[in-house]
Structure 1
Amino acid sequence: MEASTPNLTKTQVAERYAISLATLDRWHAAGEGPARYTLPGGTVRFSETDLLSWEQARRVKLG
């Protein structure tokens, strides 16, 4: 992951895809959602690069 890549919170990602946090967590548990990483202390983040790759692989259309 590049240092200049924006990192989004779970709430930001849920809003991006118009889904609930519970759905985002279900996707992760099922191995179907975008890649994410956990910071020390348990904070979850998503890189913009990973989100774009996930969208392209699934042809997700936003908006």
Structure 2
Amino acid sequence: MPKQKTHKGTKKRFRLSAKGKAKHRHSGTSHLATRMSTKRKRNLRGTTVTTDTNSKIIAEALAGNSY
């Protein structure tokens, strides 16, 4: 049986927590932030967790390679 390859795009964007949940950065934080309100920028800081369904799919795509 061939091994499953890690999906490199997923590896760059997600990280699994100890309990298997997928953490990721909020979208819309790269540039063009001057037009956003201060409240919006503040709420986009940090990371967030995906749903359980997406976490399973992401874990399969990572194939055990999460930092």
TM-score, normalised with respect to structure 1: 0.28
Q: Quick check: which one's helix share is greater?
A: 1
Is the radius of gyration larger for structure 1 or structure 2? 2
TM-score, normalised with respect to structure 2: 0.27
